[in-house]
Amino acid sequence: MAMLSSLSGGLHLIYGVKEGYLNASLNLTVSNLTYAYSGDAKIQHTQDERNRMISQGKIILIFFDLPGCANCALMRPWIAELANENRGCIEYEWLNLAGVSEGPRNELREVIQDEDQVSTPVIIIQGENGSLLSSGFKSRDAIIDMISRVSNGGCFSET
């Protein structure tokens, strides 16, 4: 079984073809898949790519997630909501520390030397005013404040 998903949602026409039989088609309405839970957010960018996005006015929000992490489960929905609501200014990376790729874990080791002192989730926010790191539970307001500080307040001008 395959999952049909779409960032934009809407009506999708599916065709089925089998040699020797009549073709079949089916219209399906697909709910939109939000940006923060899409495959786009699960891509780990290089620091050069991030720097290019920052030079274009974006804020980089990296959420290092770990399955079974209670704080991650509490924060994940509203971090995703922030990313979705502010897609124009936030480039979101949702990286799994327990995944197949060692990339996220290696990057975190470069940023935090003593990994034993880290509590998940770890959030790194980068913008034109530098980089901030959060380890463990932080409130929505605290994360918004961090984003505002690295963006000169530009990302949440209406908040």
**Domain residue ranges in the chain:** 1-33, 35-150
User: pLDDT tens digits, residue range 49-71?
Assistant: 999 999 999 999 999 998 888 99
Segment 27-36 mean pLDDT: 66
**What CATH architecture applies to the domain 35-150?**
3-Layer(aba) Sandwich (3.40)
> What pLDDT is recorded for position 21?
82
Neighbours of 66 (CB within 10 A): 18
**pLDDT tops 90 at residue 91:** yes
Q: Would you state the pLDDT for residue 1?
A: 38
φ and ψ at residue 36, rounded to 5 degrees: -70, -20
d(CA 148, CA 145): 5
- The residues facing 139 across adjacent strands are none
The region of weakest confidence among 30-39, 97-106, 143-152 is: 30-39
